[in-house]
Structure 1
């Protein structure tokens, strides 16, 4: 598995498992728990979630899958990198404490490896940072970061006391949504701060792209794997596609080993041109 380095020197997998839209339907609970167990058995070690996903439902699904895997010894807690996110309206100095505790209870773990502010809300950033620092002091989180932050937001955060400790920014980033390459990605790269790409296959749309299919045939791969391989070629980028079917879990893992040639990357630039000017941050 490819690795990406956090600002403090820790290496984490370049491929994780997203869980958006999990935990929303009771009739899918068993299937989703089984998918998480399969992912862990296949070697996934980075799992991304949020208190917003299914209003805690996704965290419960992960918690049930983790409990079984940890109990049987299929995976050790220290081998996992767990990410969750706090709602903006829970992100004041005290509210973030309670929100994190609830997430930990649902996940069935003692601490998070990375805790993100899901998007910027009305709570002053300085207060959220203070809350994150308190969580670190209590041992409930190891690192903290942000999500859906544009360039101006990151610059403002960096000037706050403690703001430079931000470890990652999670944004919508894919072949079709390259706006962050103009300013956000370079800013983060200069500071050694990874960019976590959510919806890297455009919620499945890129898996049916005819031009990607042509390129995929050269590699004996699937179009979605080409979209992921392109992201893995971007420095300091972590991709967190959601997958429930075992075939898709395996395909995404295999994409981490897929290397695109320079002419193929140039072809993708022609199909999906990089930004030439500042663009609004893409958000789902």
Structure 2
């Protein structure tokens, strides 16, 4: 498993497990937990969830998957912006800890910028860290200006990651946000790296996939994983999809592959608004 370094030097998997939309149907809970356990067995030990996903149901699926093997995983969850006052952040985290059936969340994120002052959210994060309830904190869906505002605050430089929408068809963050984060050794977590499966169907992507004898989605995921300082967290609720995602880590794209994909999915040449799903 390739790894990406957090700012403090801890290594985490470059390929993790997303859980958005898990926990929405009780009938799927066992198979979803099985898929996560399969991913852990394959070395995809970073699991990303959130209190928003299925109103906490996703965290309960994660609890099922990691029961008895908490030490094997790096656990990520998120607080909703309208819960992100100082006290609200602490209370939301404690509720997530209860659903996850753990004592500590490894990385706790503000899901997107909200109306509460960032200073209040950071105070909540700090309280949680001092209590041992989280190890690191970060943000999600923050554009470059918002990251600049955050890191200018007292204690804001401790931000461990920024989770954003990033895939072949959503490359706007390459213009300024990814270079800004890279210059400060802040890794980026790419959510929906396969555009929720919609990335397939492009002729150039099919051509690259055929060169390597893989699927289009595997080629698209390999492209995201090819980027330094990026952690991909595709969601897969079926065992075969988990295994296909893991196999993408072994694909080595060539310079020709990259040129082919750049032609079909051009990189940005100017600043674009941050895209959010």
TM-score tier (shorter) = over 0.9
Deviations 1:187-226 (A, max 9, x none): 0000000000000001101133332122111111111111
Q: 2:215 aligns with which of 222, 230, 242?
A: 222
Alignment-derived partner of residue 177 in structure 1? 170
Structure 1 residue 3, shift from structure 2 partner: 0.5
Does the Cα contact within 8 Å between 2:79 and 2:93 map onto a contact in 1? yes
Cα offsets for 1:163-183 (capped at 9, x unmatched): 000000000000000000011
- Separation of aligned partners in 2, 1:37 and 1:96: 29
1:107-118 to structure 2, matched below 5 A, reads 107-118=100-111
Q: Which digits, 9 at most, give the CA deviation of each residue in 1:78-122, with x for residues without a partner? A: 331100000001111111111101111111111011000000110
Say which SS state the counterpart of residue 243 (structure 1) adopts.
coil
Secondary structure of 2:179's match? helix
What is the CA distance between 1:240 and its match in structure 2? 0.3
1:122-141 correspondence to structure 2 within 5 Å: 122-141=115-134
Q: Give the structure 2 partner of residue 33 of structure 1.
A: 33
Aligned length in residues: 277
Q: Show structure 2 runs of 5+ residues with no match.
A: none
Residues 244-255 of structure 1 aligned to structure 2 (within 5 Å): 244-255=237-248
TM norm structure 2 = 0.98
Q: By how many angstroms is 1:229 displaced?
A: 1.0
In the other structure, the counterpart of 1:211 is 204
Please give the alpha-carbon distance, in whole angstroms, between the structure 2 residues aligned to 1:34 and 1:233.
28
Unpaired stretches in structure 1, ≥5 consecutive residues: none
> What CA distance in whole angstroms lies between the structure 1 residues aligned with 2:93 and 2:123?
14
What secondary structure is seen at the aligned counterpart in 2 of 1:154?
A: helix
When normalised by structure 1's length, the TM-score is: 0.95
Once superposed, what is the RMSD of the aligned Cα atoms?
A: 1.0
Instruction: Determine the C-alpha separation between the residues in 1 that align with 2:274 and 2:162.
Output: 12
1:194 aligns with one of 187, 190, 206: 187
Question: How far apart are residue 65 of structure 1 and its match?
Answer: 1.6
Kept after mapping to 1: 8 A contact 2:31/2:238: no
Q: CA deviation at 1:265?
A: 0.8
Aligned to 2:96: 103
In the alignment, structure 1 residue 233 sits paired with structure 2 residue 226: yes
Task: Give the corresponding residue for 1:8.
Answer: 8
**Within the alignment, does 1:165 sit opposite 2:158 as a pair?**
yes
Deviation digits for residues 54-80 of structure 1, max 9, x if unmatched?
00000001101211xx2xxxx4x3331
Q: Give yes or no for contact 2:16–2:46 (8 Å, CA) kept in 1.
A: yes
Q: CA deviation at 1:260?
A: 0.4
- Counterpart of 2:80 in structure 1 is 87
CA distance in 1, matches of 2:215, 2:56: 33
> Counterpart of 1:207 in 2: which secondary structure?
coil
CA distance in 1, matches of 2:81, 2:268: 29
SS of 2:253's partner is coil
Partner of 1:268: 261
Number of the residue aligned with 2:57: 57
What SS does the aligned partner of 1:196 have?
Answer: strand
